[in-house]
């Protein structure tokens, strides 16, 4: 934190996931007068996770707006502003609180273009700090991406790296339709290479983070990093896992996943949301229905969140979502066709 600023060239510059998001918002505020940030305590407080940070000092309270604690109304104001010409980025303090605003996101934002026969556009971005691992228990730790992914009219993204966090946020901002971005809280401090300036990461495109021939692991958000760590372990045993970073829950990148499963013949889905009816359930069904089915030589496997709220006790909390050893064990058994 207090280290002297280093001069880094553009190819090696590393900043954190939260800094990358802030940089994207700063660029957007600079470039487009219509962009406004809205949310609870995003001004002088800097946001509950310090993502907006000093943006209020740079752009003022008219552009970086603290809202009252009014999730439904706040989200609705963002929807109405987007419908009439602004480009709002609305931060939920925790994605769990979006439950208070489902009406505006699901019934209004997602359906407005369709209900009005293409005569309206709602270019709003909802930012959602999500996930467990912070000891915040059942109402501050959930992973709702499948909820929103179930709604036609929304796009849902889940960046796992600082580079994608910036690129997907700028892509969301350029998108004429509502985009929900899930930001995993444990990733906020993660550092990584982030290009300077304005760039976008395409919504709907997965990324292959590691090539492998033996088993395909499709993971999202923090699970990508756990899957990569598990893959390193497995490599020591000669098992080569291919790790796909989903990046976008809606739309899902069918081609990349199907192509990988055709190559490896084995699929493990790893996601933090509740396992039943989750993102991995959709991917499993998608593969079962696709041409990749004929290439499967073991049953599809899923690792997801427990069928329980996120508990407070740290050991229980860890046990509630997939961890690196869980992925390692599941992928090994799958690779060895022990399932």
Partner 1 sequence: MTDDNRPFAIRNYDPARLRDALRKMYLIRFFEEGAEDSYMRGLIHGTMHLSIGQEASAVASCMGLTDEDKITSTHRGHGHCIAKGAEVRRMFAEFFGKEEGYCHGRGGSMHIADVTRGNLGANGIVGGGLPIAVGAGLTAKRLNTGAVAICFFGDGANNEGAFHEALNMAAIWKLPVVFICENNKYGMSTSTERSTAVKNIAERAVAYAMPGHTVDGNDFSAVAETVEAAIARARAGEGPSLIENLTYRWRGHSKSDRNRYRTKQEIDEWMARDPIQRFRAELIEHGVLDESEAEKVIAEARQEVEAGIEFAKSGTAPRISDLAKYVYAEENA
Active-site residue numbers?
A: 71, 140
Q: Residues with Cβ < 8 Å from 142, sequence gap 6 or more?
A: 95, 96, 130, 131, 132, 273, 310
Both tokens assigned to 184: 């995993």
Separation between Cα atoms, residue 95 and residue 39, nearest integer Å: 12
Other Cβ atoms closer than 10 A to 62: 8
Which listed residue (127, 140, 155, 275) binds partner 1 by CB under 8 A? 155
Per-residue contact track with partner 1, 27 to 46, x per CB under 8 A? ------xx-x----------
CA distances to 287, 293, 339 from 290, in Å = 5, 6, 21
Q: Is position 197 an interface residue for partner 1 (rule: CB under 8 A)?
A: no
Other Cβ atoms closer than 10 A to 60: 12
Window contacting partner 1 (CB under 8 A); options: 103-111, 161-169, 206-214, 230-238: 103-111
CB of 278 to partner 1, least distance (A): 23
* Nearest to partner 1 of 79, 221 (CB atom): 79
* Nearest to partner 1 of 80, 192 (CB atom): 80
Separation between Cα atoms, residue 316 and residue 192, nearest integer Å: 30
Separation between Cα atoms, residue 121 and residue 265, nearest integer Å: 42
* Nearest to partner 1 of 4, 118 (CB atom): 118
Q: Which residues between 247 and 276 bind partner 1 (CB under 8 A)? A: none
Number of residues that bind partner 1 (CB under 8 A): 43
Which listed residue (24, 27, 86, 267) binds partner 1 by CB under 8 A? 86
Which listed residue (4, 7, 117, 338) binds partner 1 by CB under 8 A? 117
Which listed residue (11, 119, 236, 289) binds partner 1 by CB under 8 A? 119
Both tokens assigned to 86: 């602004």
CB of 165 to partner 1, least distance (A): 23
Residue ranges in 100-184 assigned as alpha helix (H):
102, 112-115, 145-149, 162-174
């Amino acid at each position: 934190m207090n280290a002297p600023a280093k001069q880094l060239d553009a190819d090696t510059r590393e900043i954190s996931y939260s800094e990358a998001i802030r940089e994207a918002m700063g660029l957007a505020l600079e470039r487009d007068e219509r962009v406004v940030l809205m949310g609870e305590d995003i001004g002088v407080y800097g946001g509950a996770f310090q993502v907006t940070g000093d943006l209020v000092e740079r752009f003022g309270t008219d552009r970086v707006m603290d809202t009252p604690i009014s999730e439904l109304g706040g989200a609705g104001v963002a929807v109405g502003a987007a419908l009439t010409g602004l480009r709002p980025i609305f931060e939920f303090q925790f994605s769990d609180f979006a439950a208070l605003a489902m009406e505006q996101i699901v019934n209004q934002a997602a359906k407005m273009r369709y209900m009005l026969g293409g005569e309206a556009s709602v270019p709003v971005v909802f930012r959602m700090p999500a996930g467990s691992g912070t000891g915040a228990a059942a109402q501050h730790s959930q992973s709702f991406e499948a909820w929103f992914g179930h709604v036609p009219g929304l796009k849902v993204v889940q960046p796992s790296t600082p580079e994608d966090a910036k690129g997907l946020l700028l892509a969301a901002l350029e998108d004429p339709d509502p985009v929900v971005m899930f930001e995993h809280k444990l990733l906020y401090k993660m550092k990584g290479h982030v290009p300077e300036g304005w760039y976008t990461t395409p919504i709907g495109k997965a990324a292959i983070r590691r090539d492998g021939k033996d088993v395909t692991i499709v993971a999202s958000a923090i699970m990508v990093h756990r899957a990569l760590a598990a893959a390193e372990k497995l490599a020591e045993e000669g098992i080569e896992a291919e790790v796909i970073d989903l990046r976008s829950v809606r739309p899902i990148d069918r081609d990349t996943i199907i192509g990988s499963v055709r190559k490896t013949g084995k699929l493990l889905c790893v996601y933090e949301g509740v396992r039943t009816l989750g993102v991995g359930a959709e991917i499993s069904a998608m593969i079962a229905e696709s041409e990749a089915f004929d290439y499967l030589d073991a049953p599809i496997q899923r690792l997801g969140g427990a069928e329980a709220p996120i508990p407070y006790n740290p050991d229980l909390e860890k046990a509630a979502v997939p961890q690196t050893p869980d992925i390692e064990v599941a992928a090994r058994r799958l690779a060895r066709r022990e399932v």
